[in-house]
Structure 1
Amino acid sequence: MAAQGLSVFQITPSSSATAQSSRKPFEQLLSFNLSNSFVGTELRVKPSSFGLIASKRFSSAVAIVSFSLPTTKTGLASDKKPKWSARSIKSFAMAELEARKLKYPNTGTEALLMGILVEGTSLAAKFLRENGITLFKVRDETVNLLGKSDMYFFSPEHPPLTEPAQRALDWAVEEKLKSGESGEITTTHLLLGVWSEKESAGHKILAGLGFDDEKAKELAKNMDKDIILSFK
């Protein structure tokens, strides 16, 4: 017997789930009626609802991130509009997430750097790791350089870019357009864009961890590739 004052929910198979015996067991489990005798309500739950909600959220997130990334640089005449690679888009999304984890109000060059390392599968990410630049080191250096945010502060869902971070993205687009090469803007373009901002937090962190112009030149040799290669 239920304790007095508590409403009790009962789960029973829905009529459609019982009728369709050919339905997969997992779908039968998710198709049910949720009833409450105390309030006299019934909620019918279908497996298709979960997939629809997840699909809409994923599509919305991708659209927002893709819209946030520039495809042309102001003042640069070109009929071409290069696209960002899937890895660079994910790196940007992870950068926003890292900024939110640290409760920062903006997505800076340091966050872009962390985003590349969180994504982790690109040529740029592997190059950084092979040179001793890891996510944990970058995160620690970020806190040492910029400090901790107030514990009661909450970042916006999509922290806006700082001016240096925006210029880093614009640099990546400009370099792609200037190259005249086909293909997409890669995470290597993104990383070298961060390096181009000499006074930014991202550049200072990279330099402090041993990244320099020679390493930038080495990485730039494969700027238009976004797959993991081996550097010997």
Structure 2
Amino acid sequence: MAAICFTKLPNPSSTTAQQALNRQRHHHITQPNSLIVPPHSLNSFTSLPFSRKILTTRLSTHLPISATVLSSLPTAKPERFGSSGEKVPKWSWKAIKAFTMAELEARKLKFATTGTEALLLGILIEGTSVAAKYLWANGITVFKVREETIKVLGKADMYYFPPERPPLTDDAQKVLDWALDHKLKSGDSGGEVTTSDLLLGIWSEVECPGHKILAVLGFNDEKAKELEASSSGPGFIDG
């Protein structure tokens, strides 16, 4: 009589299968860039407090984020401070933030450069400085300035990708230098260059887009003097 041999099939719950499953789980846990979530369990996964943090961490590793921290704003005449012994005035952090917002706004509008119109928008978007509050109080808003910017400069090509930090136009650089000089001439050597100096600098460049936009929206020399009077003097805090 022939012998019959029985081959035992592997039991999924056996020790060998369990070890393989453990190794697979260990692989997913130890891989820094892997996160496998079954679609049917995504809702329950993200409902856990700790798993939301894990998911955010994993996603953030694949999304490049670029941020630039500025301590000062560019000047076209840096050598004059070193040679003359003049102390370079510091920019207020609100003025620096307004400048950063101006670069972002130029990119948003798909402009190749950061102009005086972008500086004006940066001041308004920052929103908490004396200059920004003065503009808003006089009906000069972000939406109106954007609208006038398109009227003055036209719409940019929607398929154009501007540089990460659009360079300053000549007019915008003159505004920054004017603001520095204005602070030095005020005699407040220990004070900061503020967004008010920046706004007054835009108004001083009569032919620049920023000045033209301000004029259309009702800003004038009288308002400029009023702003200067309210934002000058020792101990002035920008906002």
For normalisation by structure 1, the TM-score amounts to 0.72
Query: Any idea what the Cα deviations from partners look like across 1:156-189, whole Å, max 9, x if unmatched?
Result: 0000000010000000000111112122100000
Number of residue-to-residue matches in the alignment: 190
State which drifts further: 216-225 or 158-167: 216-225
SS in structure 2 opposite 1:157?
A: coil
Q: Are residues 1:139 and 2:139 paired?
A: no
The equivalent of 1:18 in structure 2 is none
Between Structure 1 and Structure 2, whose CA radius of gyration is higher?
2
| Higher strand proportion | 1
Deviations 1:186-223 (A, max 9, x none): 00000000000000000000000000000000000133
Q: For residues 139 and 79 of structure 2, what CA distance do their matches in structure 1 show?
A: 36
Query: CA shift at 1:79, angstroms?
Result: 2.0
2:67 counterpart of 1:90 = no
Q: Which residue of 2 aligns with 1:227?
A: 238
Partner of 2:185: 178
Unmatched tracts of structure 1, length 5 or more:
1-8, 15-24, 33-44
Q: Which residue of 1 aligns with 2:74?
A: 69
Q: What stretches of structure 2 of length at least 5 have no aligned partner? A: 1-23, 31-47
Q: 2-side partners of 1:67 and 1:127: how far apart?
A: 24
| Alpha carbons 2:73, 2:96 under 8 Å: kept | no
Give the Cα–Cα distance (whole angstroms) in 2 for the partners of residues 89 and 158 of structure 1: 14
The AA in structure 2 aligned to 1:130 is A
Letter in 1 for 2:228: A
Aligned AA for 2:159? Answer: Y
Aligned to 2:3: none
Tell me the SS of whatever aligns to 2:90.
Answer: coil
What does residue 213 of structure 1 align with?
A: 221
- CA, structure 1 residues 27+70, in 2 after alignment: closer, same or farther (shift >3 Å)? farther
Cα distance change of structure 1 residues 27 and 226 upon mapping to structure 2, 3 Å threshold: farther
Identity value in percent: 54
- 1:113 to 2:124 alignment: no
Check conservation: 2:73, 2:91, Cα contact below 8 A: no
Deviations 1:18-37 (A, max 9, x none): xxxxxxx96676569xxxxx
**Is contact 2:94–2:238 with CA below 8 Å preserved after alignment?**
no
**CA separation in 2, counterparts of 1:75 and 1:183?**
19
